[in-house]
């Protein structure tokens, strides 16, 4: 570690520091001493600053002067750092000051995150971080983390402090070894409260300056596989001995206020309830948890939604706190446990958090500061794993997941992290899960608690006299390995790890048979160069045991794990390869696999649930259902529902993705394949999932001949090669003939008819019409819409047709490349108790859902059958611009999920709208407010969202229209915008309380300008915030709408050329969000709306002219400079130029400059840019990724490299220069062009600047900055 700590010793500093230590020192003397010492620290710290030369002139002669080259900024840590700021401003009078502070979270009242005045991007090169006292080093580390995240490398930060502890300096230097620290004095010791001793004399000031009671250091962690995450977590949770447990299990409380204990048992025993819902239920009971912290990324994968719903609708659910996954979020949990309120001390503080492995990685470093666990104060983290390679700890089966969730709340002297399989097993339905019974025997250790629950730290399966053993963490692969070796004496055994910490060496030593000579340890790692933690644990446990065993590590990378899941038998082949023991892919012979493809929001989307309910009612049968979503390969999405049907006495259940895989090169695993949208046959390769000799049912309006005319050659080849029986049925046509027009009853009829058809085909030769009718009657009502089941049965029986497929004249080669898409699981859906479907946190609903309640009212909670017209964007009121209704077809994130910026690409279909746009124009998006925020406001304001109101039409107050409150506040009124000063004055007239009325009038008056500026610019309050602050000001809702005004369209540069893409329009957008001083996360209204768009959703847009235009002559040279999303218009330029070149037209040279932070994360449209370079459309690409190298490189630096060419293009060849992006690089880019003209065209700086200004009039120097 480099010696970067500089202790400044000087007689004046020594004297002033001694004066500060005196308890008799007055506050005035203390402040003056801080300034004096800070000046000396500043002098010393600036010795190494880089200088630059310039030419000047005295009255006598010219001279060469020097000035400091880097742009310097000051960052004091509030409040103590302000005393040092005045001293440094004497050295740098024009330096900007960026304050960093802490705020208190509203619910916990704990300091959990810093307040920041850092602008979006750093306009400086060097920062002086001012922190007078470094006690534990926590505050300094947290501030440094924010500065580094902002974009200033540590080597460009100098930390100045008056006094530090030896431990605090070591902490900071350990975290940031390249940091330069300048300190006036160092004390060796800290008190137990984290106070420097002997410290400073002004005790109040001294304690305010100490950082130990403010925050802890937490750095962002990037995405890592869960076992890699565990390596970080385990370092912080090591315990030298097993922790004790003093409580026993009790039955959890009811999720509804009036439920009885009998109904609770029914909840646990209901096979329609997935394990993940039960885990949420156990974790969210008020008797178990004080608070439930739901992190955003957990809810995005469908975990936490039910808890939030219960918190809104029941009284026995713990309070729910929403948290963002970001640096500092983990500290809120630590702070809550460390410094609970007096009320917490009386009631206890048991915190539960929901996050994902990625979120756990970001929280891991905070866990090193967890206080000791107790019966009244501890943390439980429930971690749903949502990708195939993530089950690394504890549970694999649904029953096990629920039991361990319950168990986690009984370990009263230990913090608990529970990881369970949310990729498959915990989302399955079909399991009747009973609650874990309370033990009558008190548990004194974790081992006892696990044993009382019916489990152990380790499980052994296989040959009792095995020579070879595989050790792996519990999860879906552990279940697969367990099933593969069940009942075989082939010399192989497996050890499944249920509890990883505390690590029990004696337990694993005793469970491995004495005959074992070789132990293989499977470890998930990010790459082959990383050693897994499980191998280290096993090796240390077996190192000195007798007999000696050879312990071998197998590092499983993410790509291997993905292959294990998507390729049938790949995992078993891997085990066979490393153990040299014959292992066959194990799928129980009695299993039947049913695979059903459909599209969301269609009448038949609910059919898998109906089918599952039918099998659930049959004794002796276990039917497991898992539904997955593919939201990218098809507009509107695609669902694949897998049912695995077996006898209920099967002991080892394979995870559904392994038992019935959906692999890219599938050889067929399903015994029955259902395709319920005929259009999927044109776009997707689905038939490959059918097993040889199996049945395929297609729901379609096509005849047999039309089917053969529309399917691909692959379909025909597979159908013949695998001897598939292809059937078609038009359930929609049959339902229309029976019940009439479209609607919920017809939807229910379609599902009922399909159930008749399925049973006829599934039962095979034994199926008769009477037998099938009897089975249907056992699970549904006798009539539907007043029509008997017998009529439905006869229509279903007669409507089923077998398709005869003749051999094609020219049979395609089986090796011919196929253009059809495959199904890829990339989204998770959750059914709420209200019957809504939430996919990755987004609600989906339609009137088709009502069919569920008509067919099986016992399964689904009743809901209203009316159409939710608020989702129909065509009801948008008239707006002044010429508008178009376009359809979202693509919403794709371009930056990594773990990246702190969400940059996303949108595509809209403009077919039939008449929308035309020119290259470089902007798209005006008329966005909507967030639905839930509007509903929450309506509830708080006491107004019915369905009430009709009459308000002025946008931009035309002489005309009125009638809308619901919900429509008005969501679609038209700028409720969450920033209010102007006049709003405060207008609102004052409606304030009933004098204090509110006077306050509002003051803010709206000239004397209140500074207060208004603070509210607007610093606190960023919205109209809704103002209303909630001044609660007595309650104008009627119609008047409130008039006072607030309308949502203004937001304009975005169009990222496509219509000459190339046709009836399509593309956008490049970055989500705007920021942290308000009160700790709430706020969002840009329109980017939030756009980021949440679903494929198929309608959007109201308009076109706005722009200054970004191509010159009339395509041969003119073009210089394009874009930063971040400023690349959007240039993508349109390049598309059009490539189109011209393809037609044979000559185009001029194109220099393209692009800048962002990291190439791996923000090289926007990078593949397209590389292609344009290869095709010769781009002559030169200057790419600047400022944080990838040791030295920051911006686009102006790339332009300086091309100075001669740029000067020639602009001065001699009538070239055009464009800059699009933020405003901050404008001066540097301008200076780069001026220097080019000065150096290569013989100009001076003044004339070169005038020349560039003259180009603006000719539209050859074009800026679009924001």
Mean pLDDT of 1160-1177: 90
CA distances to 665, 941, 1043, 1259, 1264 from 1025, in Å: 55, 12, 15, 43, 33
| The CATH classification of domain 458-579, taken from the options 3.40.470.10, 2.70.70.10, 3.40.50.300, 3.40.50.920 | 3.40.50.920
pLDDT reading at 846 higher than 80: no
Name the strand (E) or helix (H) holding 382.
strand 377-385
DSSP structure class, residue 365: G
- Maximum mean pLDDT: which of 253-257, 834-838, 884-888: 884-888
Among the residue ranges 296-305, 512-521, 1045-1054, 1250-1259, the one predicted with the least confidence is: 296-305
Taking only the tens place, the pLDDT of each residue in 555-610 is 888 778 877 877 767 888 888 899 888 876 555 566 888 999 998 878 888 888 88
Band of residue 706 on the pLDDT scale cut at 50, 70, 90: confident
pTM of the model: 0.47
The tokens of 906 are what?
Answer: 């949108």
Taking only the tens place, the pLDDT of each residue in 647-697 is 876 666 788 888 888 877 778 888 999 999 888 888 888 998 999 999 999
Band of residue 222 on the pLDDT scale cut at 50, 70, 90: very low
Identical fold for domains 592-802 and 1118-1265, yes or no, is: no
Question: In whole angstroms, what is the distance from residue 953 CA to residue 384 CA?
Answer: 47
pLDDT of 1131: 93
Mean pLDDT of 1129-1133: 93
pLDDT of 185: 93
The tokens of 696 are what?
Answer: 């395929």
Band of residue 835 on the pLDDT scale cut at 50, 70, 90: low
Among the residue ranges 17-26, 67-76, 629-638, the one predicted with the least confidence is: 629-638
CATH hierarchy code of domain 5-209: 3.40.50.2020
Question: In whole angstroms, what is the distance from residue 478 CA to residue 489 CA?
Answer: 18
Report whether the peptide linkage leading into residue 119 is cis, meaning its omega lies within 30 degrees of zero: no
pLDDT of 860: 37
| The CATH classification of domain 928-1043, taken from the options 3.50.50.60, 3.40.640.10, 1.20.990.10, 1.10.600.10 | 1.20.990.10
Question: In whole angstroms, what is the distance from residue 1038 CA to residue 253 CA?
Answer: 44
Mean pLDDT of 393-401: 78
Return the half-sphere exposure (C-beta side, CA atoms, 13 A cut-off) of residue 991: 21
Nearest to 252 by CA among 430, 384, 441, 436: 436
The tokens of 740 are what?
Answer: 């009439």
Mean pLDDT of 1152-1167: 90
User: Got the DSSP string for 166-178?
Assistant: HHHHHHHHHH-TT
pLDDT of 1149: 94
pLDDT of 454: 87
CA distances to 70, 121, 143, 1075 from 117, in Å: 20, 11, 12, 10
Angle CA 1004–1005–1010, to nearest 5: 85
How far from the centroid of its chain's Cα atoms is residue 1214's Cα? 47
φ, ψ for residue 101, nearest 5 deg: -150, -175
Could you tell me whether strands 72-76 and 126-130 are parallel, antiparallel, or unpaired per DSSP bridges? parallel
The tokens of 330 are what?
Answer: 């983990």
pLDDT reading at 344 higher than 60: no
Question: In whole angstroms, what is the distance from residue 930 CA to residue 877 CA?
Answer: 18
- Per CATH, the architecture of 1118-1265 is what? 3-Layer(aba) Sandwich (3.40)
Question: In whole angstroms, what is the distance from residue 546 CA to residue 390 CA?
Answer: 34
Mean pLDDT of 477-496: 86
Sequence-distant (≥ 6) Cβ neighbours of residue 197 within 8 angstroms: 187, 189, 190, 191
Average pLDDT along the chain: 79
Angle CA 117–122–125, to nearest 5: 120
pLDDT of 522: 92
Mean pLDDT of 535-559: 85
Report whether the peptide linkage leading into residue 589 is cis, meaning its omega lies within 30 degrees of zero: no
φ, ψ for residue 803, nearest 5 deg: -95, 125
Q: Which residues pair with 159 in a beta bridge?
A: 129, 181
pLDDT of 36: 92
- Maximum mean pLDDT: which of 66-70, 191-195, 706-710, 856-860: 66-70
Residue ranges per structural domain of the chain: 5-209, 226-452, 458-579, 592-802, 928-1043, 1118-1265
Mean pLDDT of 332-351: 57
pLDDT of 270: 78
CA distances to 265, 1207, 1217 from 1212, in Å: 85, 8, 13
Band of residue 228 on the pLDDT scale cut at 50, 70, 90: very low
Question: In whole angstroms, what is the distance from residue 830 CA to residue 848 CA?
Answer: 17
Dihedral sign from CA coordinates of 1182, 1185, 1191, 1194:
positive
Q: Which residues pair with 839 in a beta bridge?
A: 829, 842
Question: In whole angstroms, what is the distance from residue 469 CA to residue 458 CA?
Answer: 13
Mean pLDDT of 510-517: 93
Question: In whole angstroms, what is the distance from residue 219 CA to residue 228 CA?
Answer: 16
The tokens of 214 are what?
Answer: 């403010």
pLDDT reading at 205 higher than 50: no
pLDDT of 612: 85
Band of residue 957 on the pLDDT scale cut at 50, 70, 90: low
Among the residue ranges 282-286, 955-959, 1228-1232, the one predicted with the least confidence is: 955-959
Among the residue ranges 120-124, 728-732, 893-897, the one predicted with the least confidence is: 120-124
Band of residue 532 on the pLDDT scale cut at 50, 70, 90: confident
pLDDT of 46: 92
Mean pLDDT of 9-14: 90
Taking only the tens place, the pLDDT of each residue in 726-743 is 999 999 899 888 887 777
Band of residue 255 on the pLDDT scale cut at 50, 70, 90: very low
469: helix, strand or coil? strand
Question: In whole angstroms, what is the distance from residue 132 CA to residue 206 CA?
Answer: 10
pLDDT reading at 414 higher than 80: no
Buried b (16+ CB within 10 A) or exposed e, 806-843: eeeeeeeeeeeeeebbbbbbebbbbbbeebbbbbbbeb
Question: In whole angstroms, what is the distance from residue 677 CA to residue 600 CA?
Answer: 10
Among the residue ranges 278-292, 574-588, 1066-1080, the one predicted with the least confidence is: 574-588
Question: In whole angstroms, what is the distance from residue 171 CA to residue 194 CA?
Answer: 13
Contact 760, 774 (CB under 8 A): no
Mean pLDDT of 162-166: 92
pLDDT reading at 398 higher than 50: yes
Percent of the chain at pLDDT above 90? 22
CA distances to 389, 611, 660, 712 from 669, in Å: 22, 19, 6, 21
pLDDT reading at 267 higher than 70: no
- Other beta carbons less than 10 A from residue 1112's beta carbon: 6
| Cβ neighbourhood burial of 1198 (10 Å; 0-12, 13-18, 19+) | buried
pLDDT of 42: 93
- Other beta carbons less than 10 A from residue 19's beta carbon: 18
What fold characterizes domain 592-802?
Pyruvate-ferredoxin Oxidoreductase; domain 3 (3.40.920)
In CATH, what class is 226-452? Answer: alpha beta
Q: Which residues pair with 419 in a beta bridge?
A: 383
Band of residue 72 on the pLDDT scale cut at 50, 70, 90: very high
Nearest to 136 by CA among 104, 103, 161, 102: 161
User: Got the DSSP string for 229-295?
Assistant: HHHHHHHHH--SSPPP------PPPPSSTT--HHHHHHHHH-TTS-HHHHHHHHHTBTTT-SEEEEE
Report whether the peptide linkage leading into residue 1026 is cis, meaning its omega lies within 30 degrees of zero: no
pLDDT of 871: 30
pLDDT reading at 1208 higher than 50: yes
953: helix, strand or coil? strand
């Amino acid at each position: 570690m480099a010696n970067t700590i500089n202790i400044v010793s000087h007689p004046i500093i020594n004297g002033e520091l001694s004066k500060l230590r005196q308890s008799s020192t007055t506050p005035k003397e203390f402040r003056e001493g801080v300034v004096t010492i800070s000046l000396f620290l500043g002098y010393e710290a600036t010795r190494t600053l880089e200088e630059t030369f310039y030419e000047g002139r005295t009255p006598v002669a010219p001279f060469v002067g020097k000035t400091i080259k880097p742009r310097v900024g000051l960052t004091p840590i509030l409040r103590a750092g302000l005393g040092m700021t005045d001293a440094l401003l004497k050295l740098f009078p024009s330096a900007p000051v960026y304050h960093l502070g802490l705020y208190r979270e509203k619910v916990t009242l704990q300091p959990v995150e810093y307040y920041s005045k850092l602008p979006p991007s750093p306009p400086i090169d060097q920062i002086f971080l001012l922190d007078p006292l470094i006690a534990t080093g926590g505050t300094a580390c947290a501030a440094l983390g924010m500065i580094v995240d902002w974009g200033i490398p540590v080597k460009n930060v100098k930390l100045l402090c008056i006094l530090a502890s030896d431990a605090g300096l070591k902490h900071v230097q350990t975290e940031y070894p390249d940091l330069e620290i300048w300190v006036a004095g160092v004390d060796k010791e800290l008190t137990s409260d984290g106070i420097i001793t002997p410290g400073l004399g002004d005790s109040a000031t001294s304690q305010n300056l100490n950082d130990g009671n403010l925050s802890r250091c937490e750095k962002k962690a990037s995405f890592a596989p869960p076992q890699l995450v565990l390596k970080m977590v385990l370092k912080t949770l090591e315990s030298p001995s097993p922790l004790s447990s003093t409580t026993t299990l009790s039955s959890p409380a009811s999720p509804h206020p009036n439920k009885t204990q009998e109904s609770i048992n029914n909840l646990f025993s209901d096979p329609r309830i997935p394990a993940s819902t039960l885990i949420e239920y156990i974790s969210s009971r008020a008797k178990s948890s004080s608070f439930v912290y739901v992190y955003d990324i957990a809810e995005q994968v469908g975990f936490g939604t039910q808890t939030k719903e219960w918190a809104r609708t029941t009284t026995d659910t713990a309070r729910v706190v929403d948290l963002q996954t970001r640096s500092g979020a983990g500290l809120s949990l630590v702070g809550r446990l460390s410094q609970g309120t007096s009320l917490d001390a009386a009631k206890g503080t048991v915190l539960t958090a929901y996050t994902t492995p990625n979120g756990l990685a970001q929280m891991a470093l905070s866990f090193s500061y967890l206080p000791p666990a107790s019966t009244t104060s501890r943390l439980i983290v429930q971690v749903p794993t949502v990708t195939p390679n993530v089950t690394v700890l504890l549970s694999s089966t649904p029953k096990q997941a629920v039991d361990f969730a319950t168990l986690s709340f009984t370990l009263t002297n230990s913090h608990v992290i529970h990881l369970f399989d949310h990729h498959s097993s915990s989302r399955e339905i079909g399991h009747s899960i009973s609650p874990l019974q309370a033990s009558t025997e008190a548990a004194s250790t974790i081992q006892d608690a696990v044993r009382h629950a019916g489990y152990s730290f380790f499980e052994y399966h296989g040959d009792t006299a095995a020579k070879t053993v595989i050790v792996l963490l519990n999860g879906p692969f552990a279940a697969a390995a367990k099933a593969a070796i069940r009942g075989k004496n082939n010399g192989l055994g497996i050890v499944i790890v249920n509890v990883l910490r505390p690590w029990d060496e004696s337990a694993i030593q005793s469970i491995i048979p004495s005959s074992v000579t070789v132990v293989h340890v499977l470890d998930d790692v990010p790459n082959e160069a990383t050693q897994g933690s499980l191998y280290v644990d096993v090796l240390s446990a077996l190192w000195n045991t007798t007999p000696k065993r050879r312990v071998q590590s197998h590092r499983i990378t993410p790509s291997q794990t993905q292959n294990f899941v998507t390729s049938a038998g790949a995992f078993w082949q891997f085990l066979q390869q490393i153990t040299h023991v014959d292992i066959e892919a194990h799928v129980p012979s009695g299993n039947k696999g049913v695979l059903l493809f459909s599209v969301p929001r269609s009448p038949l989307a609910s059919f898998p649930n109906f089918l599952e309910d039918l099998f659930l009612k049959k004794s002796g049968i276990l039917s497991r259902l898992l539904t997955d979503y593919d939201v990218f390969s098809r507009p509107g999405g695609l669902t694949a529902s897998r049912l695995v049907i077996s006898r209920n006495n099967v002991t080892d259940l394979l995870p559904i993705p392994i038992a019935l895989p959906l692999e890219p090169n599938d050889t067929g695993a399903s015994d029955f394949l259902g395709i319920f949208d005929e259009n999927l046959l044109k776009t997707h390769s689905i038939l490959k999932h059918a097993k040889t000799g199996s049945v395929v049912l297609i729901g379609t309006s096509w005849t047999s001949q039309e089917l053969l005319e529309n399917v691909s050659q692959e379909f025909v080849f597979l159908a013949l090669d695998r001897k598939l029986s292809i059937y078609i049925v038009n359930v929609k046509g049959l339902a229309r003939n029976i019940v009439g027009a479209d609607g919920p009853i017809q939807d229910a009829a379609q599902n009922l008819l399909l159930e008749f058809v399925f049973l006829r085909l599934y039962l095979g030769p034994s199926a008769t019409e009477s037998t099938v009718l009897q089975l249907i009657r056992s699970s549904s009502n006798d009539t539907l819409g007043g029509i008997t089941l017998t009529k439905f049965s006869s229509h279903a029986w007669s409507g089923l047709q077998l398709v005869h497929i003749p051999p094609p004249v020219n049979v395609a080669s089986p090796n011919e490349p196929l253009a059809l898409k495959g199904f890829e699981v990339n989204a998770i859906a959750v059914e709420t108790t209200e019957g809504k479907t939430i996919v990755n946190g987004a609600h989906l609903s339609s009137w088709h859902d009502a069919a569920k309640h008509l067919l099986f009212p016992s399964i689904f909670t009743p809901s209203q059958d009316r159409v939710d017209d608020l989702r129909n964007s065509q009801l948008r009121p008239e707006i002044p611009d010429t508008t178009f209704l376009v359809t979202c077809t693509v919403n794709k994130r371009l930056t990594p999920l773990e990246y702190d910026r969400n940059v996303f690409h949108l595509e809209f279909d403009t077919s039939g709208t008449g929308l035309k746009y020119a290259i470089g124009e902007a798209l005006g998006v008329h966005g909507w407010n967030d639905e839930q925020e509007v509903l929450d406001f309506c509830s708080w304001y006491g107004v019915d969202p369905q009430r009709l109101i009459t308000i002025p039409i946008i931009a035309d107050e002489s005309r009125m229209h009638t809308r619901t409150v919900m429509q008005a506040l969501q679609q038209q009124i700028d409720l969450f915008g920033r209010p102007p000063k006049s709003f405060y004055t207008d609102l004052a007239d409606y304030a009933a309380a004098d204090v509110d009325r006077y306050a509002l009038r003051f803010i709206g008056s000239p004397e209140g300008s500074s207060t208004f500026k603070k509210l607007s610019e610093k606190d960023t309050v919205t109209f809704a915030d103002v209303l909630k602050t001044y609660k007595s000001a309650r104008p009627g809702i119609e008047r409130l709408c008039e006072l607030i005004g309308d949502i203004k369209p937001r304009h975005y540069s169009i990222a496509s050329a219509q000459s190339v893409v046709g009836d399509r329009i593309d956008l490049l957008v970055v989500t705007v969000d920021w942290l308000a001083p009160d700790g709430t996360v706020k969002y840009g209204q329109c980017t939030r709306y756009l980021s949440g768009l679903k494929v198929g959703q309608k959007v109201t847009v308009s076109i706005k002219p722009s200054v970004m235009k191509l010159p009339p002559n395509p041969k003119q040279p073009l210089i394009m400079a874009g930063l971040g999303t400023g690349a959007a218009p240039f993508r349109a330029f390049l598309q059009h130029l490539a189109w011209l070149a393809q037609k044979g037209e000559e185009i001029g040279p194109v220099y393209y400059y692009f800048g962002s932070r990291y190439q791996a994360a923000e090289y926007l449209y990078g593949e397209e840019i590389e292609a344009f370079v290869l095709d010769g459309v781009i002559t030169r690409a200057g790419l600047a990724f400022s944080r990838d190298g040791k030295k920051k490189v911006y686009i102006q630096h790339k332009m300086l490299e091309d100075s001669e060419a740029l000067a020639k293009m602009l001065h001699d060849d009538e070239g055009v220069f464009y800059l699009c992006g933020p405003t901050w690089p404008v001066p540097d880019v301008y200076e780069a062009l001026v220097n080019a003209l000065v150096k290569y065209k013989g100009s001076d700086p003044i004339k070169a600047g005038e020349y560039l200004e003259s180009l603006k009039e000719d539209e050859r120097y074009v800026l679009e900055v924001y």
